[in-house]
Amino acid sequence: MAVIRDVMPAFQLFQPTSVTDAQKLLEDHGSESWVMAGGLDSFDWLKDRIKRPKALVDLSGIQELRGIRSIPDGVEIGAMTTLTEVVRHPLIKEKYGLLSQAAELVASPQIRNQGTLGGNVSQDARCWYYRAGWPCYRAGGNICYADTPVGRNREHAILGAERCVAVNPSDTAPALIALDARFVLQTPKGQQVADAENYFIGPDLDITRMNVLRPGYLLTAIRLPSTWAGAQFYFEKVRDRNVWDFPLMNVASAMKLSGDSIQDIRIAVNAVAARPLRLRAVEDSVRGQQRTAATAEAAGKLAVQGAVPLQFNAFKIPLMRNLVKRSITGVQEASWAS
Ligand SMILES: Cc1cc2nc3c(=O)[nH]c(=O)nc-3n(C[C@H](O)[C@H](O)[C@H](O)COP(=O)(O)OP(=O)(O)OC[C@H]3O[C@@H](n4cnc5c(N)ncnc54)[C@H](O)[C@@H]3O)c2cc1C
Ligand code: SF4
């Protein structure tokens, strides 16, 4: 499948200055519309001529979608807030350091300056075949090119795959799940608020989408409740190139301790499945336990139960076992694939 990277196909460009106007435009143009935030994912699709929307709704002029503010029970981050702003904001650094750590590990400084938090959690799969325009399941076809004996699937899923084995590539998503964030959506039927983990969907629900956004929907803000503010956090990302790269895997945990006893915990991993996974069984197994190497070891083993590797990604099983283990001990080790 040839990919042409010269000029983009023509579309109508709309630059609304309010959420109401943006939402109306999206509703009017339905499935022919495209929301553009920082454009890092959007322009890839448009310049490769693989997605061809008729109407582009650019959110960059909507001030109410930008910024980080205190709300009665926590903090609200506008969807158009850049990743750099998220990394640097004193309130996020002080109370929700898990999110600033995760955002700081996204790509490069230039990408973080332009990329938004809303775009980061709404970005599409990075599977080679899909991004190159091959007519696979996710693109509406009837085959998965990655899930074959010779398919390039080193980066792909080890859990919960159904026809499509692509993974969600966001670094901020697992941190937001661990922080129990809420995603605020503007829809044709009014405002809806989704728990972070329910914002993301897998192929079992809809193989063509990675989240609950449908034509006419807008993600307006992400709220961090105070419940996990100032908890003990752990974030780790493993990637091929440490300068900048998408995650081969990442893990995020938020923990409340009483002495050495784990009172409460939330753990999420990404790049192992089509959606970031909250590890509820692992959380249940360590809640009330002493935070010891043995507890962490058992948690790591539990996390990978049911994992099924593809031809070239068996390394992800010990990687996940060790990342989960370390998200409980809080100690980063040099070796991760033993
Ligand atoms: C070279 C490169 C390397 C990268 N490396 C990493 C990495 O290591 N880790 C990582 O996590 N990410 C990485 N990314 C992704 C990047 O961080 C961007 O955050 C992400 O691509 C999209 O953010 P954006 O603001 O540019 O959104 P856009 O590209 O404009 O939008 C992305 C998608 O989300 C939708 N969307 C965006 N905002 C909204 C909204 N408010 N409401 C409804 N829909 C919306 C758009 O329609 C589009 O489908 C990388 C990207 C590139 C190009
Ligand atoms: S993994 Fe998913 S996106 Fe990639 S080729 Fe298979 S169906 Fe397409």
Low-confidence winner among 5-9, 12-16, 125-129, 305-309 (lowest mean pLDDT): 5-9
* Per-residue model confidence (pLDDT) at position 2: 55
Q: What is the pLDDT of residue 246?
A: 97
Average pLDDT over residues 25-36: 97
pLDDT of 8 reads 86
337 pLDDT band, cuts 50/70/90, is: very low
Secondary structure class of 295 (helix, strand, coil): helix
* Closest of 185, 207, 208 to residue 196, by C-alpha: 185
- The sheet with strand 12-14 has its strands ordered as 12-14, 55-58, 33-36
What's the rounded mean pLDDT across residues 94-104? Answer: 98
Q: Kindly state the helix (H) or strand (E) to which residue 253 belongs, with its residue range.
A: strand 249-258
What's the average model confidence in pLDDT over 60-88?
98
Does residue 166 have its Cβ closer than 6 Å to ligand 2? yes
77 CB near ligand 2 (under 6 Å): no
Task: Provide the CA 178 distance to its chain's centre, in angstroms.
Answer: 12
Q: Render the burial of 16-44: b for 16+ CB within 10 Å, e for the rest.
A: beebeebbbbbeebeeebbbbbbbbbbeb
The CA 115 to ligand 2 mean position distance, Å, reads 24
CA of 118 to the centre of ligand 1 (A): 8
* Residue 7: Cβ within 10 Å count: 9
C-beta 118 within 6 A of ligand 1 = yes
How big is the chain, counted in residues? 338
Residue 291 token pair: 């935070």
Residue 248 three-state SS: coil
Substitution candidate for ligand 2 out of 138, 148, 311, 312 with most atoms within 8 A of CB: 138
Q: How many CB atoms lie within 10 A of CB 48?
A: 17
For residue 80, pLDDT over 70 is answered with: yes
CA 46 to chain centre: 21
If phi > 0 it is left, if psi is from -120 to 50 it is alpha, else beta; for residue 29 that is alpha
Residue 234 scores a pLDDT above 60: yes
Q: What is the pLDDT of residue 336?
A: 43
The reply to whether ligand 2 has any atom less than 6 angstroms from the CB of 65 is: no
Q: What is the pLDDT of residue 333?
A: 59
Per-residue pLDDT band for 274 (boundaries 50, 70, 90) equals very high
Count the neighbouring beta carbons within 10 Å of the beta carbon of residue 245: 14
CA of 154 to the centre of ligand 2 (A): 13
Q: Which ligand is nearest to the CA of 156?
A: 2
